[in-house]
Amino acid sequence: MKHILQVLRFEYLGIIKSKAFIITTVLFLVLIIGMAFLPGLILSIQSSGDEKKTETDKQVIAVVDKAYKDENTVKSEFAKSFEGYKVLISTEDNDTLSDKVDKQDYAFAVVIDEPLAITYITKNNSLFASQTARVAETVKGIYQTTSFDKLGVPAEISAKIISSEPKLSTVTTGTDQTKNYLSAYILMMMIYMAVILYGQLVAQSVVSEKNTRTMEMLITCAKPSHLMFGKVFGSGLAGITQLAVIVCTAVVSMRFVSMDSLPAELREMMNFPVDTALYALLFFVLGYFIYSFLLGAFASFASRSEDLNTLISPVMLVIVAVFMIVVIAINSGSVDSTLMIVCSYIPFSAPVAMFARAALSDVSIIEIIISVVIQLVTIYLLGMLASAIYRVGVLMYGKVPKPSAVIKLLSDQHKTNKAIRASKKGE
């Protein structure tokens, strides 16, 4: 235990004091503070710019009305839909319109060929169909208004009918996904990134000790399991320190920013429930331990840092695959699908999958406890296995051994250990 603490302290201080760690932390802080203050700043600059815009600065929409012959209705409907644009009723032919749109005299042009058939002329068609949908919606509105008009329904009543929408109030008995969606997504990203980032720290530290042959000294000073556990705890603690600094800065800087200055998306992000955040922390810690033991064990077979990437790529693949499964499940709205339920009990996918379910669905506390216990047991077993692999791996230089050779070495070692224990008991 004493050794674990000593290794932990050395590793922790080593990481905290390293330039790379300080620089990334500072960058994150700058980003956080930027995210807190910039939107407000940009909005205020934008709004002051808006005021200066005069009527002549406005972009022009050209509308050719061949079907309704009702200039007023067409113009007013378009003006309503496209605020900030100037609506021009034109009689130009399609070629002229295309020319002018291309020269950007017009933002875009709409030709109403028939009551429900339109030609939309634009320079660049956006990937997202929001503009075209708005044009179609506008023309639909014109059609409805004029149709009601023909039937003799007064304009006010027809407008009311057209714009009527049911009032919807939702009663949520479980978890409100709409409320938690974004925050859960962000926290999940953070778990994923943090596990990879800090897990790699462990792997790198193992390889560099081996590469510089510091291992030759260390292995004679302390047990491999103590070195391994100390290293994993040390890097993990450094990770938590970094996260804590970042979160504290975020919370403090939010105090100084009025929430109203932030765009709605950002405000929503900041609003995550405390229990979701606590789950994120819990599952980050569990995921970190599971993967850093794996990464450390794999890394102990690398003689040089160049070998590291190849060696740890299987582990990385698993992490990415798990993340993809969970993201796809969330996006398709099936957080409680059979696959997700299974994933939330498999220790390698449980940290992300169970977190997603805990945040976005109504999982009973018992289920979470079972998943956590499975993960804890796995961590213990992995820790032991990783130490055994580490013991075999760190003194092996040169070619990366085949998995079968490793298994054989481990079983040999296990047999000798058993024999030694038996002989000690005999004494």
Query: Cβ of residue 194: shortest distance to other proteins, in angstroms?
Result: 24
Q: Beginning with the edge strand found earlier in the chain, give each strand of the sheet holding 59-65 in spatial order.
A: 85-89, 59-65, 108-114, 117-122
CA distances from 189 to 26, 272, 326, 376, 417 (A): 20, 14, 11, 22, 42
Which two three-digit tokens encode residue 254? 């939010």
Phi, psi of 156 (to 5 degrees): -60, -45
Query: Cβ of residue 201: shortest distance to other proteins, in angstroms?
Result: 14
Which is nearer to other proteins, 217 or 342 (by Cβ)?
217
Dihedral sign for Cα atoms in the order 371, 377, 379, 382:
negative
Please answer whether residues 100 and 78 qualify as being in contact, where contact means their C-beta atoms are separated by less than 8 angstroms: no
Q: Provide the 10 A C-beta neighbour count for residue 57.
A: 8
What is the residue whose two structure tokens read 């200066």? 52
Which is nearer to other proteins, 19 or 103 (by Cβ)?
19
Which is nearer to other proteins, 18 or 178 (by Cβ)?
18
Packed helices 71-81 and 130-150: angle between N→C axes, nearest 10 degrees:
140
Query: Cβ of residue 235: shortest distance to other proteins, in angstroms?
Result: 16
Nearest to 10 by CA among 150, 205, 224, 189: 205
Distance between the two ends of the chain, CA-based, in angstroms? 26
From CA 426, how far away is CA 111, in angstroms rounded?
98
Identity of residue 27: L
Q: Is 174 exposed, middle or buried (0-12, 13-18, 19+ CB in 10 A)?
A: exposed
Chain positions contacting other proteins, by CB under 8 A:
3, 6-7, 10, 14, 209, 212-222, 395, 405, 408-409, 412-413, 416-417, 420
From CA 39, how far away is CA 140, in angstroms rounded?
36
